[in-house]
Amino acid sequence: MLLLTCPHCGIDADETELAPGGEAHLTRHGPGATDDDFESYLFLRDNPRGVHLERWRHANGCGKWFIAARCTVSLEVFGTYPAQTARPPQHVLDAIEAKRPGATRKLPVMEGAR
Amino acid sequence: MSDATVLGAAQAEGFATVREVPAPGMIALKGDLSSPALAEAVRAVTGCAVPGLRRIEAAGPACAGWMAPDEVLLIVQRGDVPAALATIAERLSGAHHLAADVSDMRAVFRLEGAGAREALAKLAPVDLAPGAFEPGELRRTRLAQVPAAFWMEEGGITLVCFRSVARYAFDLLAGAAAPGGAVGHFA
Ligand SMILES: [Zn+2]
């Protein structure tokens, strides 16, 4: 059972209050995109063993989307943040690095920041 | 306007009392909760300040509850809803907002008696211990399989859910409060 703190309403929400939304920070490729980009946007997902950024909606709560940074192996949660951002905030990156040195550089969303 | 009750004011007696109560007038108001114009509209309609995070303000029977970062629930007398909507439209004209009469969207229940906290705690993933949940807080969550919201007032708990699941919610609450089912967790 996961407990994630909703950054919009502050509740430590039990997983049963939440709806999962899959991998976060996807780049949306729409009309005019190459077939490869469109395919990757629609179908191809990262499935890491370790640090993962994923979307959740506080469905049985305030209704808002947020993103959780957690470890898929230990289920440790490094932080949560509102979904209205293209990148994880620095305090979340710092929390990940403190526990998993080097892990943030491997996050797909941070590839452009290398 | 439909009947204000769904189950004909159904009632169940157990270690807590569960009863359906007539739905009051309810207005969902979405907009910028930090704007002075919205605060004026909320004050004009309910007499309440804009509630802070997860809070519910009360002024007599009228209430204003925090539902989301951009939404408040305004509770007024059922007959006052049309005038309230007109007041909101006037105070917020020109500002992006949405105000909807949701009175007929919901069923409303009351849980009363010493076992009210415990009966509800069986159904919602919320810490309902005295001190952890107190009057003044509005909690949106789930009741077993359906969304619900509740707050404490006048020695009991008021709970709202969608009208379409009123029977399910009542049966859940009645079952959780059934005679012999008391655990004494908060005793
Ligand atoms: Zn929330």
* Topology at the third CATH level for domain B25-103: Alpha-Beta Plaits (3.30.70)
d(CA B113, CA B184): 13
The CA distances from residue A75 to A2, A3, A49, A107, in Å, are 7, 10, 11, 17
Query: Largest Cα–Cα distance in chain A?
Result: 41
Calculate the dihedral angle through the C-alpha atoms of A96, A101, A103, A106, rounding to the nearest 10 degrees: 140
**Which residues of chain B make contact with A13, given a CB cutoff of 8 A?**
125
The mean per-residue pLDDT over the stretch B132-161 comes to: 96
Pick the residue from chain A with its C-alpha nearest to B72: A62
Q: Do A9 and B141 touch (CB under 8 A)?
A: no
Is the pTM for the entire model greater than 0.90? yes
Is B25-103 the same fold as B11-23+105-176? Answer: no
pLDDT of residue A110: 86
Ranges B2-16, B73-87, B140-154: which has the least confidence: B2-16
Which pLDDT value is given to residue B90? Answer: 98
Q: Which residues pair with B17 in a beta bridge?
A: B13, B112
Per-residue confidence (pLDDT) for residue B154, from 0 to 100: 81
Residue A114's pLDDT is: 41
Residue A97, token pair as written in the block: 């690095």
Per-residue pLDDT at A74: 95
CB spacing of A60 vs B69 below 8 angstroms:
no
Contact residues on chain B for A16, CB-CB shorter than 8 A: 125, 142
Closest CA to B27 of B94, B97, B96: B97
* Average pLDDT in chain B: 96
Helix boundaries (H) for B25-145: 36-46, 81-91, 116-121
What residue spans define the domains of chain B? 11-23+105-176, 25-103
Enumerate the domain spans of chain A: 3-24+41-110
Residue-wise pLDDT for A47-106, tens only, equals 999 999 999 999 999 999 999 999 999 999 999 999 999 999 999 999 999 999 999 999
Distance from the CA of A8 to the center of ligand 1, in angstroms? 5
The fold for domain A3-24+41-110 equals Folate-binding fold (3.30.2270)
| E-strand stretches of A6-86 | 12-14, 19-23, 51-57, 65-71, 77-82
How far is the C-alpha of B88 from the C-alpha of B38, rounded, in Å?
8
Whether residue A28 has pLDDT greater than 70: yes
- pLDDT of amino acid B1: 47
* Beta pairing partners, A71: A51
B145 CA to chain A: closest CA distance, Å?
Answer: 9
Task: Identify the sign of the CA torsion B127, A2, B147, B73.
Answer: positive
Question: B11-23+105-176: what fold?
Answer: Gyrase A; domain 2 (3.30.1360)
Cβ proximity of A46 and A54 under 8 Å: no
| The pLDDT of residue A10 is above 60 | yes
Write the pLDDT tens digit of every residue in B17-60: 999 999 999 999 999 999 999 999 999 999 999 999 999 999 98
Chain A interface residues (partner B, CB cutoff 8 A): 8-11, 13-14, 16-17, 59-64
Taking ligand 1, which is a single-atom ion, which protein residues have CB atoms under 5 Å away? A 6, 8-9, 58, 61-62
| Rounded distance between C-alpha atoms, residue B143 and residue B164, angstroms | 14
pLDDT band at residue A112 under the 50/70/90 scheme: low
* Chain-chain contact of B142 with A60 (C-beta, under 8 angstroms): yes
**Contact assessment for residue A13 and residue A5, using Cβ atoms and an 8 Å cutoff:** yes
ipTM attached to this prediction: 0.92
Residues written for chain A: 114
Ligand 1 centroid to Cα of residue A37, in Å, is 33
Best residue of B33, B54, B73, B143 to probe chain A, by most A CBs closer than 10 Å: B54
Nearest by CB to B142, which of A17, A63, A64?
Answer: A17
* Residue keyed to tokens 């919320």: B126
Q: What is the pLDDT of residue A111?
A: 76
**């996807």: which residue's tokens?**
A26
**Backbone phi, psi, residue B24, to 5°:** -75, 180
CA distance B118 to chain A (A): 18
* Rounded CA separation B143/A51 (Å): 32
At A1, the pLDDT band (50, 70, 90 cuts) reads confident
CB contact under 8 A, A9 and B69: yes
Contacts of B53 in chain A (CB under 8 A): 9-10
